[in-house]
Homo-oligomer: A and B are copies of this chain.
Amino acid sequence: MAAPAPSALPLKAVVFDAYGTLFDVHSVASLAEQLWPGRGDALSQAWRAKQLEYSWLRAMSGRYKPFWDITRDALRHSTARLGLPLDPARETRLMNQYSSLSAFPENLDALRALRAAGLPLGILTNGNRDMIDVSVRSAGMDGLFDHVLSSQQVETFKTLPAIYELAPAAFGCRARQILFVSSNAWDAIAARWFGYTSFWINRAGAPPEQLDTEPDHVGALLGDVVAVATRRA
């Protein structure tokens, strides 16, 4: 008898990206707007873009450095480029904001519904493990995740295969049997390239990326993951 087609494999786990997916980075923009009225959005966008750029350049060139430090480097460059004076007090406030992100309010119910359906859960993040642990605890998500997987374990960043390999190894199944959930379209697409079943949380109604591959599923909220995951469990 032939093996079932990969798309028909039952899901064995649901794995989440952290920043922007489980945890809301909007509070960073709010503080930036307080510090530099009228420039908060520009800074938070430039900061995020530079943070990702540095992670990609370091991944490609084999120059790993923890994400927390990259985040600070990106803040310093972005403020300099935008001509915003960054003194140590402002830097500390902005970085602290990043270390205590709150979860999207709907997320806890969605995660509990997935657990109730018997699905093991995990996090796969570029972020430092200790940063994620703090956010998980403060969001009341203790005990919900079987595995919290961080770039620190492999010293590289998404989208290199080495970091995507962590979840199939941890859950002991094929990538296709894991639903990988990210609010970053590029992450959801690269995860599918790697082999995952992927879900893009498109909270902002962004246009699709032009990368010749779509995420397997798209929704606007983490709650939308529950229907897909429990149907496939």
A168 to B193, CA, bound (A): 32
A 191-233 binary contact with B (CB < 8 Å = 1; else 0) = 0011000000000001111111000000000000000000000
A73 to B62, CA, bound (A): 27
When A49-B49, A81-B206 are in contact, do A211 and B54 touch as well, CB less than 8 Å? yes
| Chain B residues whose CB sits within 8 angstroms of the CB of A74 once the complex forms | 210
Majority-rule SS of A interface residues: helix
A161 to B57, CA, bound (A): 11
The chain B residue with its CB closest to the CB of A74 is: B210
* Residues of A participating in the B interface, judged by any CB pair closer than 8 Å: 49, 52-54, 56-63, 65, 73-74, 76-77, 80-81, 158-161, 186, 189-190, 193-194, 206-212
Are B80 and A193 closer than 8 Å at their CB atoms? no
Are A211 and B57 closer than 8 Å at their CB atoms? yes
Are B159 and A76 closer than 8 Å at their CB atoms? no
When A49-B49, A53-B186 are in contact, do A210 and B60 touch as well, CB less than 8 Å? no
